[in-house]
Amino acid sequence: MGRPWRVTLGVERFPALTPTLPPATHTNSYALGEREVLLIEPATPFDDERRAWLAWARSLSSRGRHPIGIVLTHHHVDHVGGAWFFANELRLPLLAHRETAARLAGEARVDRHIEDGERIVLDGPHPMPLRVLHTPGHAPGHVCLFDEDTGTAVVGDMVASEGTILIEPVDGDMIEYLAQLDRLAGLSAAVALPAHGDPIDEPTTLFRRYIAHRLAREAKVVAAFASMPAEGANLDALLPVAYADTPPLLWPLARMSLEAHLVKLEREGRVLRTGDGGYRLAAG
């Protein structure tokens, strides 16, 4: 694998092996900025990959590019596996949303909290103005970065061009996730840089497609109740009906997504919990 890959002026991509969700195998790190540089996604926990990542980060200075910080898009293990290691080796501060920092307490020290709407301008021949977007839904502290001049959006795990994005009921929030996808679609970004897979050239179309896909799945979840007892059904009963088009091998992941959909429907008053931990459709 030839690394790094130049994406555009002032942007490089470095995919590193991580314990991520198959079929993806790597998490993309990015170097943003022509002179001052932010490194995004210090992801890999593996020694050989860490050595390659460090060599890449240290080589930037020979090209007049100087890292000033490391940004965590969120706290999941395939995004922060090298966070504290790289911060120590490069003597750089870690930047993350406060929700991410709280979930990493005791594992990695976040030096600076970044917040929604904050603007970070990276100095260089062409200064890079980055707007921080707090985009919860996949994870409570998830952030994206948007280059207001070029329309480039670093989107973490909001979408992917390889593999899938899991919304589960502990860290995830389906209502927030769909709302933040809609917000990203409203940016009219020129290109999106995901954590998994290649750059996305028509990101608005993909954001809208993700919304449509989740709503189509939600409709299948609601429709599944038609074949269930009137008193309701549990996840195990709903799963093979709502995800009949999904290989059984993937049902353990689908089960988490199903529960996230049901939590959304419950909050919207469209389903009710039953006394035995199941769900039933609300009247009307």
How many degrees, rounded to 5, is the angle at CA 95 between CA 25 and CA 91? 90
The pLDDT value recorded for residue 2 is: 77
Whether 89 shows a pLDDT value over 90: the answer reads yes
* Phi-psi region at 197: left, alpha or beta (left = phi > 0; alpha = psi -120 to 50): left
Q: Are 39 and 29 in contact (CB under 8 A)?
A: yes
Helix (H) or strand (E) holding 129: strand 128-134
State the pLDDT confidence band at 1, using cuts at 50, 70 and 90.
low
Whether 213 shows a pLDDT value over 80: the answer reads yes
Q: Which two tokens stand for residue 11?
A: 């942007």
Strand ordering across the sheet containing 128-134: 119-122, 128-134, 143-147, 152-156, 191-194
- Mean confidence (pLDDT) of the chain: 97
Structural domains in the chain, CATH included, are 5-201 (3.60.15.10), 214-281 (1.10.10.10)
How many degrees, rounded to 5, is the angle at CA 271 between CA 237 and CA 140? 95
Give mean pLDDT, residues 276-281.
Answer: 94
Q: Are 233 and 223 in contact (CB under 8 A)?
A: no
Q: Give the torsion sign (CA, 210, 212, 215, 216).
A: negative
- Per-residue pLDDT tens for 129-174? 999 999 999 999 999 999 999 999 999 999 999 989 999 999 999 9
Q: Are 92 and 60 in contact (CB under 8 A)?
A: no
Question: In 3D, which of 126, 132, 120, 141 has the Cα closest to residue 65?
Answer: 126
CB-based contacts of 99, cutoff 8 Å, min separation 6: 136, 139, 140, 141
- Residue 47, classified by CB atoms within 10 Å of its CB into exposed (0-12), middle (13-18) or buried (19+), is exposed
Percent of the chain with pLDDT over 70: 99
